[in-house]
Amino acid sequence: MLFEVPSLESLNLGAALPAVSLTFGVCVLLLVDLLLVPKDRKEITAWLAVAGVVVSFVVNLFTFNTHTEAFLGMFVADSFTGFMNIIILLTAFLGILLSKDYLKRAGIERGEYYTLMLMSAAGMMFMASANDLVVVFIALELLSIPLYILAAFRVPDVKSEESGMKYFILGAFSSAFFVYGAALVYGAAGTTSLPGIFGAVGTIVQTGGSAAFLLLAGAGLILVGLGFKVAVVPFHMWTPDVYEGAPTPVTAFMSVGAKAGGFAALLRIMAISLPAFTLADGQPYAAWQQTFWIIAALTLILGNLVAIAQSNIKRMLAYSSIAHAGYILMAVAAAGTTGLTNDATRAALIYLLAYMFTNLGAFGVALAVERDDGSGTNLEDFVGLAKNRPGLALMMAIFMLSLTGIPLTGGFIGKWFVFKATLDAGLVALAIIGVLTSVVSAFYYVRVIVNMYLRDGEAETPGESRMVNWAVYVAGAGTLIMGIFPFLVTGLSDLVTVAASVVR
Amino acid sequence: MEAVSTPTLTSVVLFIPLVSMFIILLFREDTQSEYIRWGALIGSLLTFAASILLWLSYDPAQPGLQMAQRSTWITLSATDATYNISYYVGVDGLSLLLVILTTFIMPLAILSSFRSHVLVERGREKLYYAFMLLLEWAMIGVFVAQDLFLFYIFWEVTLIPMYFLIGIWGAEERIYAAVKFFLYTMAGSILMLLAILFVGTQAQSFALPDIIAKVQANPDMFPFSGLFSTQSFLFLGFLIAFAIKVPVWPLHSWLPDAHVQAPTAGSVILAGVLLKMGTYGIVRFCLPLFPQASIEWAPIISVLAIIGIIYGAWVSYAQTDVKKLVAYSSVSHLGFVVLGIFALNSQGIQGGILQMVNHGISTGGLFLLVGMLYERRHTKAMSAYGGIWKVMPVFGGLSLVIALSSMGLPGLNGFVGEFTILLGTFGSPYLGFFFALFATLGVILAAVYILYMFQKVFMGEVDKEENKNLPPLHWQELAVLIPIVIVIFWIGLQPGTFFGSMDASVNQLVTQVTSAASSVVLR
């Protein structure tokens, strides 16, 4: 039969409920905002959006440690999905808190903003649970298109328009790469289902020939497509301009969310369906590991070195986020070593969680310092912050130390596990590049602390926003709790077993 | 003694400073600054009292860890088993004296800040004392931690308060010095992080005593085949981090900047305790974990140590700034400590550990003296002084004792340490006569620059108008200097008390190093 209407049971909606409930919430929110919320009371929409996130978060707790498939095997709900969902939903939650007062200050308070943000978050969640290349692609588009609009949300500000346009054009390119790669993989494996590809890889490796090359090329193009999303070198060019031009809460949201989504897909495709793809039978590491290794090294070096030269906090954090993509990519590369897939994936998840708290917090402080007209984002504007806003300055210091990877912060725990995975995988040179670039990164992170605490001056900050303060403190608490009680996070991540979930 | 999971005295000593820090954070800066100051002092004195109890309940005949506590912190999964990162603390003969040195120096540093003018000028007193206590917590942690992960955490955390102490309350070039300090130390320690990860994964444990036991059982665990092999690289990973902290020549260039720019209390802690973390780390980690590499590298590092001894002394002599002179003298003194450690025999290492304490006390004392002069005259140039002894006789007398102790006069503490180190170096099968000979040159040079400094500042006529009416020592300043002078005499006349407490542990360490090394045939 060519087309079969699936029964409701076979869809198994319950397994996909966190993502489905958020999607449903977005649709309701769109209507409610349009019909019921008055124009001057858009904060109601913000609260409704928070409610949607909270519902999805609670549902996610119930489905966290299951392992079931939904939508006829195109969607998988396992602990990896559950962990990613936590990261994505927290990102959305903090993103909304950061946005509420900022939108009013900047005079761009419109209800669609929250709808778009949640839509993008739903895309990320689908990405994390995709079990089929087609779903990955749809989720990628669902993730990206709202972000293009959000980046340009500050019209008629030229920088914001440029940001949206640039992001859109490059994003469209990258999607095309991804689709082409997916097509080649389909050509080699004869299926788009990720477990199906995993099953086909064994035969492809043994017979070799054109199928192996198709698979290699396909994997490469997929890496290009997703590499744009997570901003690794050499696919990073758009990042500084887009991050600088986009409204700051949007930058915060996409610097974490888009990366989380992109890495979720990369891990699913590379570490879960292609870990056994070797060029010679019996090789202990996957064929793509070398490429990832080189890209990770380039990303680390370029991101950290160029960040030194930045004088604008948003651009600096943009390059820093490129560098952090490099650290996560180290873990992904390590996942290519046979037997390490689970450990390395856990390391990447822990790193992402730490990065989520820290980076959102840092952007939160940057946003609190930014003036209503969008100026005040230079590093010089942080001079004297410790005197004017001691609480915010303390938090910013913690975030900067966490990004550097100093102990007692989440960033250190993330680095510890990523470096451990890299060393276990035998990628010693990559690990050394990783630690040396961390020293370089200390240089520009510490400069922010120098400006806030060591230099004399008065900081001019706009009026306090309680929402932003809350978001920053939540992020700071998350960073510290991860650093002081790491067993909370490792206990959670130990539940994540990706490799076993596909082998059957 | 077995490690327990209930808190022991070690944990009590470790956590009093942290608790005190949280208590003083509760006070209001504008109206209750007295409480903040005295709270910090009382907190550090309580820590000192607890550490004395620690010493009294320590059994010197036992070589192993005492009053140890071990609780699981993070469980790590490996392919065939799980292993733990734990909160694992305890003291033995190698660390006991350094813990007490830390708790001894801290109250003095805090008390000396009471009258500091930078605190009045720059304010933020609460932050200052909070950082002092945080620093004390982290430094004690470095000395008592027995888990590599825990050690690394404390090691890195010491960086933050020191960075702020230099950066906020330092002299004119403070930002440059603070950033340089931060980057140098971080560059070294992050390589150590990789080595720690490698050692931990290889040994399937992060607990130091367990890893040492495994190394003893299987000396080939970190394969060794010469100056450049796996074990040597791991050894260097640790050593470079420690050598930057010590600092061993040629990695010393952060030190003069940091010392000169730091506020008095900062310099005292830096010289008194922080530098010892490096030499302690070598004894604690490099030697027992990588015995063959330690032996193979001993002559090379000893040469660097001797270059440091002579270079430090030479450059000290050339200084016109009295604080810089003392700073460079640290490079020279710590060269002795490193030399003693790499003699790899009992005398050398015992002398090294005692010399760590000695240097902490006498150089800490010298920085306090410089600070007191600076509070009165607001200059560190030696040419601005002269004849101070005539104006401030008590101060002059105390200064003479401390200066002579730093120089190594027999009967005072410095002599005992240096003499034992030279004896160890001479008798060491890895070093020998020429190393001892060149190191002795350093002893002579020390006399030159210390006496030169003393003569320029304290002797001669009072020829500057500003120096004629310097106020005499305040009782708080006396309270800072007198304990130092007492300890200087105590160690100098009764060194047995101190050697006795480390004897068993050091002998065990030396046996571990030599037996592990001799059981492997060098390829």
Quick check: helix, strand or coil at residue B18?
helix
- The tally of domains found in chain A comes to 1
Beta carbons of B190 and A408 less than 8 Å apart: no
Separation between Cα atoms, residue B71 and residue B89, nearest integer Å: 9
Separation between Cα atoms, residue A404 and residue A447, nearest integer Å: 12
Beta carbons of B193 and A424 less than 8 Å apart: no
Confidence of residue A95 (pLDDT cuts 50, 70, 90): very high
pLDDT higher than 50, residue B320: yes
pLDDT higher than 50, residue A299: yes
Task: Output the pLDDT for position B260.
Answer: 85
| Whether B102 contacts B3, CB under 8 Å | no
Task: Output the pLDDT for position A146.
Answer: 93
B-chain residue closest to A442, CA distance: B183
For B80-227, list the strands marked E by DSSP.
Answer: 82-91
pLDDT higher than 90, residue A119: yes
Instruction: Pull the structure tokens for residue B254.
Output: 């952060």
Separation between Cα atoms, residue A177 and residue A34, nearest integer Å: 36
A-chain residue closest to B157, CA distance: A407
Interface test with chain A among B72, B193, B236, by most A beta carbons within 10 Å: B193
Confidence of residue A501 (pLDDT cuts 50, 70, 90): very low
Task: Output the pLDDT for position A2.
Answer: 63
Task: Output the pLDDT for position A352.
Answer: 93
Beta carbons of A494 and B77 less than 8 Å apart: yes
Question: Within B207-274, where are the H helices?
Answer: 208-217, 230-245, 254-261, 264-269
Least confident of A455-469, B304-318, B390-404: A455-469
Q: Which of chain B's residues have a Cβ under 8 Å away from the Cβ of A404? A: 186
pTM of the model: 0.89
> Does residue B3 belong to any structural domain of this protein?
no
Least confident of A2-11, A428-437, B407-416: A2-11
Instruction: Pull the structure tokens for residue B215.
Output: 């190394």
If interface means Cβ-Cβ distance under 8 Å, which residues of chain B face chain A?
73-77, 79, 149, 152-153, 156-157, 159-160, 163-164, 167-168, 174-175, 178-179, 182-183, 186-187, 190-191, 193-194, 197-198, 201
- The tally of domains found in chain B comes to 1
What percentage of chain A carries pLDDT values higher than 90?
38
| Average pLDDT of every residue of chain A | 87
Residue in B157, B160, B178 nearest the CB of A454: B178
> Does residue B1 belong to any structural domain of this protein?
no
| Average pLDDT of every residue of chain B | 86
Residues 6 or more apart whose CB falls under 8 angstroms from that of B13 comprise: B47, B50, B51, B54, B99, B103, B140, B144
Question: Within A36-111, where are the H helices?
Answer: 43-63, 79-106
A-chain residue closest to B153, CA distance: A407
ipTM of predicted complex: 0.84
The residue ranking higher by pLDDT, A222 or B375, is: A222
Beta carbons of A450 and B179 less than 8 Å apart: yes
Beta carbons of A407 and B156 less than 8 Å apart: yes
| Whether B408 contacts B450, CB under 8 Å | no
Residue in B74, B153, B194 nearest the CB of A432: B194
For the residues A252-273, what does the mean pLDDT come to?
A: 90
A-chain residue closest to B187, CA distance: A439
Q: Each residue of A472-484: pLDDT tens digit? A: 999 999 999 998 8
Task: Output the pLDDT for position A364.
Answer: 92
The CA distance from B175 to the nearest CA of chain A, in Å, is 7
Q: Which of chain B's residues have a Cβ under 8 Å away from the Cβ of A412? A: 153, 156
> Does residue A138 belong to any structural domain of this protein?
yes
The CA distance from B238 to the nearest CA of chain A, in Å, is 14
> Does residue A369 belong to any structural domain of this protein?
yes
Beta carbons of B183 and A446 less than 8 Å apart: yes
Looking up tokens 């101060």 gives B395
pLDDT higher than 50, residue B172: yes
| Whether A351 contacts A414, CB under 8 Å | yes
Q: Each residue of A371-420: pLDDT tens digit? A: 877 777 888 888 888 888 888 889 999 999 999 988 889 999 999 999 98
Q: B447: domain range?
A: 9-518
Q: What is the DSSP string of A197-248?
A: HHHHHHHHHHH-THHHHHHHHHHHHHHHHHHHHHT-TTS-THHHHHHHHS-H
> Does residue B490 belong to any structural domain of this protein?
yes
The CA distance from B131 to the nearest CA of chain A, in Å, is 13
> Does residue A447 belong to any structural domain of this protein?
yes
Beta carbons of A487 and B160 less than 8 Å apart: no
Separation between Cα atoms, residue B313 and residue B325, nearest integer Å: 9
> Does residue B523 belong to any structural domain of this protein?
no
The residue ranking higher by pLDDT, B76 or A147, is: A147
What's the DSSP call for residue B412?
S
pLDDT higher than 80, residue A276: no
B-chain residue closest to A338, CA distance: B79
Residue in A419, A424, A442 nearest the CB of B193: A419
Confidence of residue B73 (pLDDT cuts 50, 70, 90): confident
Number of helical H runs and strand E runs in chain B: 23, 2
A-chain residue closest to B152, CA distance: A407
Residue in A438, A453, A487 nearest the CB of B74: A487
pLDDT higher than 50, residue A62: yes
If interface means Cβ-Cβ distance under 8 Å, which residues of chain A face chain B?
339, 343, 401, 404-408, 412, 416, 419-420, 423-424, 431-432, 435-436, 438-439, 442-443, 446-447, 450, 453-455, 486-487, 490-491, 494
Q: How many CB pairs under 8 A join A and B?
A: 80
The CA distance from B443 to the nearest CA of chain A, in Å, is 37
Q: Each residue of B91-134: pLDDT tens digit? A: 888 888 899 999 999 999 998 888 877 777 777 888 889 999 99
> Does residue A101 belong to any structural domain of this protein?
yes
Task: Output the pLDDT for position A500.
Answer: 46
> Does residue A7 belong to any structural domain of this protein?
no
For the residues B16-25, what does the mean pLDDT come to?
A: 90
The residue ranking higher by pLDDT, A354 or B36, is: A354
Helix axes A341-369, A79-106, angle to 10 degrees: 10
| Whether B500 contacts B423, CB under 8 Å | no
Separation between Cα atoms, residue B261 and residue B167, nearest integer Å: 8
Confidence of residue A5 (pLDDT cuts 50, 70, 90): confident
Least confident of A121-135, A241-255, B78-92, B159-173: B78-92
pLDDT higher than 80, residue A7: no
The CA distance from A179 to the nearest CA of chain B, in Å, is 37
> Does residue A1 belong to any structural domain of this protein?
no
Instruction: Pull the structure tokens for residue A73.
Output: 């095997």
Beta carbons of A487 and B175 less than 8 Å apart: no
Q: Each residue of A305-331: pLDDT tens digit? A: 999 888 889 999 999 999 999 999 999
Is residue B28 packed enough to be buried (19+ CB in 10 Å), middle (13-18) or exposed (0-12)?
exposed
Beta carbons of B73 and A343 less than 8 Å apart: no
Beta carbons of B153 and A435 less than 8 Å apart: no
Residue in A423, A436, A450 nearest the CB of B167: A450
For the residues B135-140, what does the mean pLDDT come to?
A: 93
Beta carbons of B193 and A416 less than 8 Å apart: yes
Separation between Cα atoms, residue A255 and residue A80, nearest integer Å: 21
Instruction: Pull the structure tokens for residue B395.
Output: 């101060």
The residue ranking higher by pLDDT, A503 or A373, is: A373
Task: Output the pLDDT for position B142.
Answer: 93
Residues 6 or more apart whose CB falls under 8 angstroms from that of A501 comprise: A67, A76, A78, A80, A272
> Does residue A49 belong to any structural domain of this protein?
yes
Q: Which of chain B's residues have a Cβ under 8 Å away from the Cβ of A453? A: 164, 167-168
pLDDT higher than 70, residue B78: no
Beta carbons of B186 and A490 less than 8 Å apart: no
pLDDT higher than 50, residue B209: yes
Q: Each residue of B322-346: pLDDT tens digit? A: 888 888 888 888 988 999 999 888 8
The number of C-alpha atoms within 13 Å of A455 and in the hemisphere containing its C-beta is: 19
What percentage of chain A carries pLDDT values higher than 70?
98
Q: Which of chain A's residues have a Cβ under 8 Å away from the Cβ of B157? A: 406-408
Task: Output the pLDDT for position A504.
Answer: 34
Q: A421: domain range?
A: 12-502
Looking up tokens 């990102």 gives A91
For the residues B52-68, what does the mean pLDDT come to?
A: 86
Separation between Cα atoms, residue B387 and residue B183, nearest integer Å: 41
Beta carbons of A406 and B156 less than 8 Å apart: yes
Q: What is the DSSP string of A120-137?
A: HHHHHHHHHHB-BHHHHH
